């Protein structure tokens, strides 16, 4: 029976993404032969051929069929097969500092449907999948981690292999640290190149990554067949090969480990554990400890297995063990332990770029914001093909309220990962802080289209409404953010500001006092004092002395922003008639008399937030 072209096309894409280039090339070649007038087939085929000459031939064929195909044209330009013309020549020759993005929102019709203003986004689907032009990487611990994509920039670190303490397993790479000051000024992908395969934009020639925990055994055909099936995701076939391998070679710990992995990924947990046990018994095989830990978590998800630490003890350079353990801790919101685990990896010499990126997330959730930015820059700069790094850099800049710096990495992230609501939500927050509130609302809507009950998107849109002084819409979104997410400083501060805008000063003071008590970042404390002073001035009658006290505390805090200081000086001059000096006063910036949040509330029941204890943490992501 003849296989329908669409089914074959789907199978070919799956093979390419699974790393089976041979199978993908075979299927795409058959598709091209069956329909040589299909430009998309040619573009996909270009992603799995071996040489630049073949890539150029495929892209030229696509361009002949579709002369307007920008992805094919840009690929040929960057491969040097064609000369850029006009605007495209400028973009290829020099990547500008600022990524071109529409500054005005698209016109919205009924409801909250979003018209995304970037013309290049339609081409991203093809551009992103062409990442395999750089060589399909076998997925390390496939299915273990969240999927990773690639993003463009220049390589700013050197990579040298180091030996591992685990026998029969190559050691992880050692990443040479790069000073953060040299990494900050990387440039984003310009709009004209955003549809181009990312592989063309990265100054790096990656090599295929071996299957995690496997040992090169070229003289054993069954083992090689097992690896090939494993990479392709055909775990049933891989298991059959591995069962034969371990029967003939019972002393190979890697074969027992891989057998356990094939069983685990097919849901045969009871059969996986004996295979992992055997690998551990043979040689304390570190990957087997990790595999057994993941299996035990399926049985007892609320009880962290000791095997995480056993894997690290068996091989201190086993980066995957630190990452999986930290992912478990992050899901439980144990951020301090997660940070310590990732720092342990760095201290042991297993600090890959992804470790630094994950460390940044833990540090943000502990309000170690400058350290989080440094970690994000270190990880993203050392491996500019790691798309998650762009999200980490943008998020850290956003938390530091450096919104202009946050915008370009977040734009790069959403250009190549449009289905992750996090990117749209963080970009929305950065745009709101940059004074582009209407566009911020559009992008928050985009995040909510992807994930309807996404707390971070509601929070981001609330901040955009606050920029527009629309307190009621902000309040509605903030209540949804609390309903679907976790309690954070960002929620509580924004609630204080929203209630202030709608004139409910008692409730505003409750939430501002709570937000001040939750943060150790002086800039944030000062923001709370600003809002609290404004509330005291707005009361009838005004509580002028309390307002003066809060304005003075702002000047006492070293971490107050210049804007907060200027506002404090102006209000103190208006209230006292005296221009304040910059010398510290005797008043304490963190007074014991700070009002505490009370349970007496004046809003109507529909506006009264639920108590924090009643909100289950459904998302697990702190804004």
Q: What is the pLDDT of residue 129?
A: 35
Query: Residue 51: its pLDDT value, please?
Result: 82
What is the Cβ-side half-sphere exposure of residue 46, based on CA atoms within 13 angstroms?
31
What is residue 209's predicted lDDT score, i.e. its pLDDT? 53
Please, are residues 379 and 386 in contact by the beta-carbon 8 Å criterion? yes
The confidence score (pLDDT) of residue 175 equals: 38
Query: Given this model, what pLDDT does residue 610 score?
Result: 33
Burial zone of 253 (CB within 10 Å; 0-12 exposed, 13-18 middle, 19+ buried): buried
Q: How many Å apart are CA 453 and CA 439, to the nearest integer?
A: 20
Q: How far apart are the C-alpha atoms of 246 and 275, rounded to whole Å?
A: 10
Q: Which tokens belong to 320? A: 């995957």
* pLDDT at position 2: 53
Q: What whole-number distance in Å separates Cα of residue 425 and Cα of residue 484?
A: 15
Confirm if 475 and 502 have CB atoms less than 8 A apart. Answer: yes
The DSSP call for residue 266 is T
What is the pLDDT, as a whole number, of residue 202? 44
Report pLDDT for 193.
42
DSSP-derived secondary structure for 463-483: HHHHHTT-HHHHHHHHHHHHH
Give the residue ranges of the chain where pLDDT is below 50: 1, 86-208, 584-588, 590-623
pLDDT for the residue numbered 83: 67
Q: What is the pLDDT of residues 209-257, one digit of tens each?
A: 567 888 888 889 999 999 989 988 899 999 999 999 999 999 999 999 9
State residue 530's pLDDT score. 95
Q: What is the pLDDT of residue 97?
A: 29
- Rounded to 10 degrees, the C-alpha dihedral 62/67/69/75 comes to 70
């Amino acid at each position: 029976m003849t296989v329908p072209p669409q089914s074959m096309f789907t199978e070919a894409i799956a093979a390419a993404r699974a790393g089976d280039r041979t199978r993908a090339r075979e299927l795409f070649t058959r598709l091209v032969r069956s329909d040589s007038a299909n430009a998309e087939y040619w573009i996909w085929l270009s992603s799995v051929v071996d040489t630049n000459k073949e890539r150029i031939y495929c892209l030229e064929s696509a361009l002949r069929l579709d002369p307007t195909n920008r992805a094919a044209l840009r690929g040929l330009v960057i491969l040097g097969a064609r000369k850029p013309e006009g605007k495209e020549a400028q973009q290829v020759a020099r990547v500008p500092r600022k990524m071109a993005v529409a500054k005005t929102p698209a016109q919205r019709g009924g409801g909250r449907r979003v018209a995304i203003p970037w013309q290049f986004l339609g081409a991203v689907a093809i551009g992103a999948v062409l990442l395999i032009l750089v060589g399909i990487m076998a997925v390390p611990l496939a299915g273990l981690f969240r999927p990773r994509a690639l993003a463009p920039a220049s390589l700013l670190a050197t990579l040298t292999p180091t030996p591992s303490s685990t026998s029969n397993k190559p050691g992880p790479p050692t990443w040479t640290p790069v000073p953060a000051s040299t990494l900050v000024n990387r440039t984003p992908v310009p709009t004209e190149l955003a549809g181009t395969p990312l592989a063309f934009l990265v100054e790096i020639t990656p090599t295929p990554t071996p299957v995690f925990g496997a040992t090169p055994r070229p003289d054993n055909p069954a083992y090689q067949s097992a690896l090939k099936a494993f990479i392709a995701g055909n775990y049933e076939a891989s298991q059959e090969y591995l069962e034969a391998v371990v029967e003939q070679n019972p002393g190979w710990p890697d074969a027992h480990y891989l057998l356990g992995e094939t069983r685990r990924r097919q849901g045969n947990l009871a059969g996986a554990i004996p295979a992992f046990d055997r690998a551990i018994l043979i040689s304390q095989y570190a990957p087997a400890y990790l595999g057994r830990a993941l299996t035990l978590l399926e049985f007892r998800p609320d009880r962290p297995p000791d095997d995480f630490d056993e894997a690290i003890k068996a091989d201190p350079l086993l980066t995957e063990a630190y990452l999986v353990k930290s992912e478990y801790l992050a899901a439980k919101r144990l951020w301090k332990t997660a940070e310590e685990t990732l720092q342990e990896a760095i201290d042991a010499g297993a600090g890959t770029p992804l470790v630094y990126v994950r460390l940044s997330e833990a540090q943000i959730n502990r309000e170690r914001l400058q350290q989080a930015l440094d970690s994000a820059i270190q990880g993203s700069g050392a491996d500019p093909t790691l798309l998650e790094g762009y999200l980490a850099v943008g998020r850290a800049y956003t938390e530091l309220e450096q919104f202009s710096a946050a915008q370009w990495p977040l734009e790069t992230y959403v250009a190549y990962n449009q289905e992750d609501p996090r990117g749209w939500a963080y970009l929305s927050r950065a745009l709101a802080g940059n004074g582009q509130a209407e566009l911020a609302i559009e992008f928050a809507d985009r995040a909510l289209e992807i994930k309807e009950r996404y707390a971070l998107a509601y929070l981001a849109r609330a901040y955009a409404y606050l920029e527009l002084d629309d307190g009621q819409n902000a309040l509605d979104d903030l209540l949804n953010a609390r309903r679907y997410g976790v309690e954070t400083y960002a929620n509580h501060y924004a609630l204080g500001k929203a209630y202030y805008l709608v004139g409910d000063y008692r409730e505003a003071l409750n939430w501002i006092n709570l937000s001040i008590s939750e943060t150790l970042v002086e800039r944030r404390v000062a923001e709370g004092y600003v809002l609290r002073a404004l509330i005291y001035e707005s009361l009838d009658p005004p509580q002028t002395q309390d307002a003066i006290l809060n304005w003075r505390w702002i000047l006492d805090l070293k971490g107050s922003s210049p804007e907060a200081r200027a506002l404090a000086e102006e209000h103190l001059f208006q209230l006292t008639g005296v221009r304040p000096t910059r010398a510290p006063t005797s008043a304490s910036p963190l007074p014991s008399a700070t009002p505490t949040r009370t349970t007496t509330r004046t809003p109507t029941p529909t506006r009264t937030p639920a108590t924090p204890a009643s909100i289950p943490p459904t998302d697990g992501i702190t804004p």
